[in-house]
Structure 1
Amino acid sequence: MKKRHIVVIGLGGVGGYFGFKISQHNELDNQNKISFIARGETFKRIKENGLILLSAEHSNSVTNPDALYETISDIENPDLILIGVKEYDLERICNQLAKVITKKTVLLPMMNGADIYDRIRKILPHAIILPSCVYVASHIKEKGIVEHHGKAGHLIFGKDPENPSENINWILHVLKSSMINFDFKENAQLDIWTKFIFIASFGLVTAKHNSSLGAVCSIDSQKEEATKIMREIQAIAHQKRIDLPNDIIQKTFEKALTFPPKTPTSLQLDVHSGKENNELELFAGAILKYGQETQIDTSFTEKIYRKIKAAPQNRL
């Protein structure tokens, strides 16, 4: 069997969790070459101590990849690249990848957002890209150490609509052998947009009010705002022939109620801590862009977007 070169870019909560599993399994069977890309202090810590995953799923919490690089330009002949960076770094990473990928390299973004596939495709028009979304409760505890709680992470991805006949069975084998919980589908767009309607609506409303999932579900004015955003997303999805269920809004609120009421969102935390980079463009920016493309009225999302942009902490 050919030894494949698998590269993990971004070793945060998501990339660190899934990358750890692939690397640690490969240490046992040595079927592939696993490379990590890390920068600065994270690079130093992993070089000295390996990547550490604190999780009930693993008694051995350390893995050492076959190779560790600081720059993407050092990668040679990658077969699979797992992208786990923050969304605001995506274009920069893709521009660097353009110089190292081959026509057979498969890109698997471990990112949540309705427009991730399109943004990668715009920069890498001939690449093989697997549309995806991810569920995992993990975070960076400190540089080089990822902590995971709760259910096993879950990766959902589908065929590349531009390259539907591409054989990716070997990737499914790698994920299964690495004990990664995943679903592979002919078309993953329904799952991607189901996740997006939840994270975008609740992210935007909690960021505007500095509130929580429970507040959006229980305070009538916030619930109405989230509902209006969901309706705009639902209309865009319909125009794009993504058939979200008729009761998607009700189901989205029901999902939110499964979390502890005081649960924050990452956008809310980033906005109100004054963090320069955040997910505002990933959520509102994507809705406005797709609204313009599909001629759907997204004026309410735009109103929320401008309100968040104008907040004092965003003008620092």
Structure 2
Amino acid sequence: MKKTIKKMTVIGLGGVGGYFGFKLAQRYSDQQELSIAFVARGETFSNVKKNGLTLISPEHEDPIAHPAEIHQQPSEVLDTDVFLICVKEYDLEKVCLELKDKINADTLILPLMNGVDIYERIRKVIDKGIVLPACVYVASHIKEKGIVEHKGNAGKIVVGNDPENPDYNAQELVSLMQSAGIDITYKNDAFPDIWTKFFFIASFGLVSARYNQSIGQINEVPELRKKATLIMEEIKSIAKKKHIDIPEEIIENTFSKAATFPYATPTSLQLDVQAKKEHTELELFAGAIMDYGKALELPVIESTRIYNEIKGGLLQ
């Protein structure tokens, strides 16, 4: 018999975890229906423990939310029914190793992260529990440690069934999140949504990072548009070989989506690479394409070239 969800833990209070964690903590502040715990480190932990989590957003008049518990390590959390993993991809393996011994057969894991290989990477470390593939959209960022700023449309989650547990129905989790004002759509298969988003963030992210050009410039400058197209063609060949149900016109759709952004919009990978940050989403995008290309024996020449040029510091 399925266990009732009594406790949810949000790991990571950046733009994504801070936005959705705030909504959950504020809605379930009385802890009668559901207890919300946070995991954060360093200054974020200290600030949220002392002052609560702040969300600057047009959606909320009261900008402060307090969790039932806050911890510095996932290993400190006791008896959680659901883990929301909201960390950067370079921290995923570490978090999974810390969680591994806490996962029971009926523990739910909901990763709210970018990338097409997140589910597989979690399953390489954690073989128990129920992992729900998901895709997330939210325009939010850390303003200060413990303070998240949200602009634009309401955040959105698309979640699907676990391929290893296809009969598990996640409606209880979905209903709890909807009750917190979270826009979440539940589908049998979330992978088409995950890959559709990846077409955009990977192709535009890589080209913008390599050439330091905006989304609008990539969409309009023929040479840059061609490079983005080549990357999308490589992603499309991988998706088809993995039997992902994506539309035939996915590349045209992706350029149409890009055209809805303000012309000068940069990508997060572009900003991080140009700032020479130690950790970026380069592996999440090009690394995943290259790994899939090797495993599926597919050429990914353009993605590999841009990856090597960015790694080698060849930037404009």
Shared fold per TM-score greater than 0.5: yes
AA partner of residue 167 (structure 1): N
Query: Following the alignment from structure 2 to structure 1, what is the Cα–Cα distance between the partners of residues 171 and 190?
Result: 17
Equivalent position to 1:20, from 7, 22, 41: 22
Matched, 1:235 2:237: yes
Match of 1:103 in 2: 105
Asked if the contact 1:77/1:101 (under 8 Å) is kept, the reply is no
Q: Deviations over 1:267-315 (max 9, x none)?
A: 11111101000000000010011111222111121111111111168xx
Match of 1:213 in 2: 215
Asked if the contact 1:21/1:180 (under 8 Å) is kept, the reply is yes
AA partner of residue 254 (structure 1): S
Asked if the contact 2:31/2:68 (under 8 Å) is kept, the reply is no
Q: Which runs of 5+ in 1 are unaligned?
A: none
Q: Which runs of 5+ in 2 are unaligned?
A: none
1:29 deviates by: 6.2
1:163 deviates by: 0.5
Q: Which moved more, 1:241-250 or 1:113-122?
A: 241-250
Match of 2:53 in 1: 51
Equivalent position to 2:195, from 193, 196, 214: 193
Match of 2:92 in 1: 90
Alignment map for 1:5-154 (pairs within 5 Å): 5-28=7-30, 30-154=32-156
Asked if the contact 1:9/1:36 (under 8 Å) is kept, the reply is yes
Q: Deviations over 1:55-76 (max 9, x none)?
A: 1111111111100111111111
1:2 deviates by: 4.8
TM-score by length of 1: 0.96
Query: Following the alignment from structure 1 to structure 2, what is the Cα–Cα distance between the partners of residues 303 and 2?
Result: 49
1:28 deviates by: 4.5
Equivalent position to 2:205, from 199, 203, 206: 203
1:254 deviates by: 0.7
Query: Following the alignment from structure 2 to structure 1, what is the Cα–Cα distance between the partners of residues 257 and 103?
Result: 39
Q: Against the structure 1 CA distance between its residues 284 and 2, is the aligned structure 2 distance closer, same or farther, given a 3 Å change threshold?
A: closer
Query: Following the alignment from structure 2 to structure 1, what is the Cα–Cα distance between the partners of residues 100 and 314?
Result: 38
Any runs of at least 4 consecutive aligned residues in structure 1 with deviations exceeding 2 A, and if so which?
none
Match of 2:176 in 1: 174
Asked if the contact 1:51/1:145 (under 8 Å) is kept, the reply is yes
Asked if the contact 1:215/1:261 (under 8 Å) is kept, the reply is yes
Q: Deviations over 1:221-271 (max 9, x none)?
A: 110000000000001100011122111111101100100111001111111
Asked if the contact 2:5/2:81 (under 8 Å) is kept, the reply is no
SS in 1 for 2:29: helix
Q: Against the structure 1 CA distance between its residues 312 and 217, is the aligned structure 2 distance closer, same or farther, given a 3 Å change threshold?
A: closer
TM-score by length of 2: 0.96
> What RMSD in Å do the two structures reach over aligned CA positions?
1.3
Asked if the contact 1:236/1:294 (under 8 Å) is kept, the reply is yes
1:168 deviates by: 2.1
